[in-house]
Chain A
Amino acid sequence: MNSTFPYFTKIQKIILFSILAIILIAIFNYLAELIPPFLFAFIFSYLLSPLVDRLEFIFQKRILAVIALYIGIAIGIIFLFNYIIPPLVNEFNELTSNLPFYGSFIKEWSINLKNNVETNFPIIQQLNILDNIQKQIQTIIFDLAQRIPKLFFSTFSTISYLLLIPVILFFFLFQGPDIKMSFFRIIPNKYFEVLIYLFYSIGNKIGNYLRGIFIETLIVGSLSFIILLTLGANYSVLLGTLAGIMNLIPYLGPVFGAIPAIIVLYLQFKSLNIVLYIIIGFGLIQMIDNIVLKPIIYSQSVDIHPLAIFIFLLIGGMVAGVWGLILAVPIAGILKVGISILAKEIKFRIKFNKSLESLNLNKTPSN
């Protein structure tokens, strides 16, 4: 620090840095809307850069590799819009228009339940608990029915994002190594090697973890879709996608993913056999996921305590709703990986610096 700012005293430096910090915060405050596209572009570049590296091997030049990747993505998007999105949207609209039907089914079922319980336990009738619960459930269902379309599309629908992210992503992918280099250049000598080591080891692990999550979601989603399709379910694409995304939420996610499928299938076929089949099917998928996919995909498992997962889920749900629930565990995983590597390194450094100090004390001046 002394070498970079030799002309200031300590207090002047503190004042200078605090002014700089205030200016930075002010700028960030004004430009807060610009941060998300950069953040998304950064995350995407993280996920895609290994792919670009491999493409660079084929095309020799990085820019060609990035362009090839973009062409590939464009083909993928065209495919998506032609074959995947239309049925998804159709199923979605159908489901939302049919939602009152499902709502009435649940209402009917709850009234039956209420009558059953009230005849068995007369005390509850006096307290009016079940009426309240019924009302609550109704409001929740109608609320949900209104919110579902927004939930999926509002978060990512802003057109400016769709235009900005690919452009920023292009530069991140193309010049990623150069950006990294210039970032490393400002690190002081003392921390240089350590920070580069940390950067790569944390980056590697997080990259592997995120790619693992992505692949797992894809496989679980498509397996669910195949099972629903073979059972002849109505909204198989939508329900399969839902099951895949919900699978990101540990413990409860698969249940959340299965409940809509069970309800839809039961109402479609009106038989309990089909419910049994779907439960067995989803159970099988969970078995495949836990026994085959997870050990293969996550070579080094990111173990987080179940209680910590629930706390993260609660926080995520509070902060960002359903997306918070879905993203809570990946974010927790990233934090866990980052912090554990960092903690290990700090522990080692403290010990190491102590041994250096003892060495310096004993060092003879002549050398």
Chain B
Amino acid sequence: MTNAFWDDIFKYSKKKSDIQILEDIPVFKGLSRFELNKVAKMLHLRSYKKDEYIFHEKEPGESMYIIKSGEILITKNKNQKETVISNLTEGSFFGEVSLVDEDVRSANAKAITDSEVLGFFRADLMNLIDRNPRLACFILYQLSTVIGKRLRLQTET
């Protein structure tokens, strides 16, 4: 039950706006407020209940997700079991590889608390190339930086 006297009823106003969240995402680093606003308009806000899957392994991947609130567990199916790879919280992003290749997802993403995520779709990014090539190019460049960094770390360890 909600209790207006004790509950933090001002929680919502304390929450970061979408643009503030985007500012801290490496993929959108260096974009102006004006451009971030344009990006924010293309994001799909979705809310997931506890234990709900955002996507499954081997499903065709179409989008990257940014966690607005809540906690997301990244797992992989190994020997018919789910093994945890990573635990992501607010302000993290996942599934960005799907923005550049059309292959299937390589892991599951599952909400472990009630969560809100922002979805950024490949189709929207491709559409952005027509509408605003400069911005799309910049995002793609930052995206490749992120993926490159991951690749480098992966090979080093």
Interface positions of A (Cβ within 8 A of B): 3, 50, 53-54, 56-57, 60, 177-178, 181, 184-185, 189, 192-193, 196-197, 200, 348, 352, 355-356, 358-359, 362-364, 367
Contact = CB atoms under 8 A, between A and B. Distances in A.
B123 interface: yes
Nearest to A55: B131
A53 B130 contact: yes
Interface string B103-127: 0000000000000000101010001
B132 A363 contact: no
Interface in B38-55: 41-42, 44-46, 48-49, 52, 54-55
A170 B82 CA distance: 50
Given A193-B55, A352-B58, A355-B58, A364 B81 contact: yes
Residue from the set A185, A348, A359 with the largest chain B CB neighbour count within 10 Å:
A359
B62 A184 contact: no
Interface in B41-88: 41-42, 44-46, 48-49, 52, 54-56, 58-60, 62-63, 77, 80-82, 84
Contact of B123 (A50, A189, A196): A196
B30 interface: no
A356 B56 contact: yes
B52 A185 contact: no
Given A177-B41, A352-B58, A189 B63 contact: no
A56 B82 CA distance: 46
Nearest to A345: B60
B62 A196 contact: yes
Given A193-B63, A352-B58, A50 B82 contact: no
15 contacts: A3-B49, A53-B131, A56-B131, A56-B132, A57-B130, A57-B131, A57-B133, A196-B44, A196-B62, A197-B62, A200-B123, A352-B58, A359-B80, A362-B81, A367-B81
Interface residues of B, number: 29
Given A177-B41, A184-B44, 16 more contacts: A50-B130, A53-B130, A54-B130, A57-B130, A189-B48, A189-B54, A193-B119, A196-B62, A196-B63, A197-B123, A200-B121, A352-B58, A355-B58, A362-B80, A363-B80, A367-B82
Contacts of A200: 121, 123
A193 B130 contact: no
Contacts of A197: 60, 62, 123
Nearest to A3: B49
Contacts of A352: 56, 58-59
Contacts of A364: 81
A363 B82 contact: yes
Contacts of A193: 55, 59, 62-63, 119
Nearest to A353: B56
A189 B52 contact: yes
A54 B49 CA distance: 39
Residue from the set A53, A57, A177, A358 with the largest chain B CB neighbour count within 10 Å:
A57
Contacts of B54: 189
A352 B48 CA distance: 21
Contacts of B45: 185
